[in-house]
């Protein structure tokens, strides 16, 4: 592959990973991803901004070969996670004169994780600058988006913000810039839901830090670039807001049909109540879609049978994931069926300890649902609508 021009003397040296289907051994990538690196050629010096996943080092090194630079002065590392830093050892082997430009926290992580020698680093401070001749890089610390060391780099003269994971999307595409807005919205929201959602509060502060910058291009390190930055900035502002929607997400497991029958009835009641419902079988759902649904929903229902005396393991996984993602969900209820007893309800409540939620009365039944059980589920659905109305959730 050959590098592509982003602006005058600014090049995209990214690798498109069309075939990757899992990230962090957890996150489904239905549309693959990209690892974006950028070459900034100033009149005096050249800097590479981030590298690529080590599985695709050859792509980056090939593009550097084709780039026409004899010398690489700096490698800016915005984030230490290996999908962006992992090719750094090979880049430094190829360009031994290059200094690694990053903050102290990132330096410490790179020394631990990639065994980069200390003398390679040039440690920078928040809002400090690096001159490349006629181009100026400014470093803006954005901690906890999504690691403690994360920062972004602003190319002043071209008004380009290199944001690494921030504003990224797992989308393998040959488009350099985002064109299909509905496609990019979905993949960026999936990315936000699975990686950024637990960090809503730091993201709010970090968006404030950049709101007065003139920005022509947002260049993340996953997915296409944003030539109309307002689109992704507005999407993030909505996702990180306190606003929730009149929606219920149901994550369920059913072994012999009893819990499924309960879910089916509750879904019908909720629809009759004018509530949008998103239902996920936790044994086979795309957990990325489950996470995306949690970005906006006011209410979550977890439904599980009792297995081996407790919660079904797949429902435990779902609850653990929700707890880790920390959505802005306001209300939760737990429903399910048991055969001879168990601690399913209490276990699920304990697993959601990170969330600031109002637990609505559970509906836990014995065996297959009967008339009074359906009535309890109907009451739950009506109560959810009442709670949404009381909180002006539309
Ligand atoms: Fe794309 Fe946090 O790495």
User: Using one digit for the tens of pLDDT, what is the confidence trace for 121-139?
Assistant: 999 999 999 999 999 999 9
d(Cα 295, Cα 238) in Å, to the nearest integer? 10
CB 236 within 8 A of CB 207: yes
Q: Tokens in use for 176?
A: 């350099």
pLDDT of residue 342: 81
Cα 171 to averaged position of ligand 1 atoms, centre (Å): 14
Sign of CA dihedral 83, 4, 189, 77: positive
Q: Is 2's pLDDT higher than 90?
A: no
CB of 41 sitting under 6 A from ligand 1 = no
CB of 83 sitting under 6 A from ligand 1 = yes
Tell me the mean pLDDT in the region 82-100: 98
Q: Domains in the chain, start-ordered, CATH in brackets?
A: 4-239 (3.60.15.10), 248-384 (3.40.50.360)
Q: How confident is the model at residue 69 (pLDDT cuts 50, 70, 90)?
A: very high
CB of 222 sitting under 6 A from ligand 1 = yes
| Closest approach atom of ligand 1 to CA 35 | 1
Cα 29 to averaged position of ligand 1 atoms, centre (Å): 14
CB of 165 sitting under 6 A from ligand 1 = yes
Tell me the mean pLDDT in the region 314-342: 96
pLDDT of residue 4: 96
d(Cα 259, Cα 196) in Å, to the nearest integer? 32
Q: How many CA atoms lie within 13 A of 279 on its CB side?
A: 18
| Closest approach atom of ligand 1 to CA 147 | 2
R_g of the chain, CA atoms, integer Å: 24
pTM of the model: 0.96
User: Using one digit for the tens of pLDDT, what is the confidence trace for 245-274?
Assistant: 999 999 999 999 999 999 999 999 999 999
Q: How confident is the model at residue 215 (pLDDT cuts 50, 70, 90)?
A: very high
User: Using one digit for the tens of pLDDT, what is the confidence trace for 338-347?
Assistant: 998 889 999 9
Q: Tokens in use for 373?
A: 């059980």
The average confidence (pLDDT) of the chain is: 97
Q: Is 394's pLDDT higher than 90?
A: yes
pLDDT of residue 387: 98
d(Cα 146, Cα 197) in Å, to the nearest integer? 9
């Amino acid at each position: 592959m050959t590098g592509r021009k982003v602006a005058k003397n600014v090049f995209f040296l990214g690798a498109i990973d069309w075939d990757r289907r899992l990230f962090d051994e957890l996150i489904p990538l239905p549309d693959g991803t990209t690892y974006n690196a950028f070459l900034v050629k100033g009149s005096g010096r050249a800097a590479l901004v981030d590298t690529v996943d080590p599985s695709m080092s050859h792509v980056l090194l090939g593009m550097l070969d084709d780039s026409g630079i004899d010398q690489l002065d700096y490698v800016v590392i915005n984030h230490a996670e290996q999908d962006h830093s992992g090719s750094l050892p090979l880049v430094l082997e190829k360009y031994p004169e290059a200094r690694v430009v990053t903050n102290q926290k990132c330096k410490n992580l790179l020394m631990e994780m990639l065994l980069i020698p200390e003398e390679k680093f040039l440690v920078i401070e928040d809002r400090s600058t690096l001159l490349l001749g006629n181009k100026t890089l400014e470093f803006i610390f954005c901690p906890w988006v999504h690691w403690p060391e994360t920062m972004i780099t602003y190319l002043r003269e071209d008004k380009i913000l290199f944001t690494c994971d921030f504003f990224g999307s797992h989308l393998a595409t040959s488009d350099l810039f985002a064109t299909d807005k509905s496609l990019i919205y979905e993949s960026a929201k999936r990315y936000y839901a699975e990686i950024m959602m637990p960090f809503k509060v730091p993201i709010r502060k970090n968006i404030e830090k950049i709101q007065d910058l003139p920005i022509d291009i947002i260049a993340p390190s996953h997915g296409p670039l944003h030539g109309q930055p307002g689109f992704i900035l507005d999407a993030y502002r909505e996702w990180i807001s306190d606003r929730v929607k009149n929606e219920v997400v149901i994550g369920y497991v059913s072994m012999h049909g009893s819990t499924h029958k309960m879910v089916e009835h509750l879904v019908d009641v909720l629809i009759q109540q004018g509530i949008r419902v998103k239902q996920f079988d936790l044994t086979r759902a795309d957990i990325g879609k489950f996470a995306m649904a949690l970005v906006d929903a006011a209410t979550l229902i977890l439904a599980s049978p009792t297995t081996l005396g407790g919660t079904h393991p797949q429902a435990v996984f779902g609850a653990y994931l929700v707890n880790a993602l920390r959505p802005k969900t306001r209300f939760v209820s737990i429903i399910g069926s048991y055969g001879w007893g168990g601690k399913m309800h209490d276990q699920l409540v304990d697993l959601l300890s990170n969330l600031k939620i109002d637990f609505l009365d559970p509906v836990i039944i014995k065996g297959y649902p009967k008339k009074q059980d359906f009535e309890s589920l109907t009451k739950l659905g009506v109560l959810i609508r009442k709670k949404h109305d009381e909180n002006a959730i539309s």
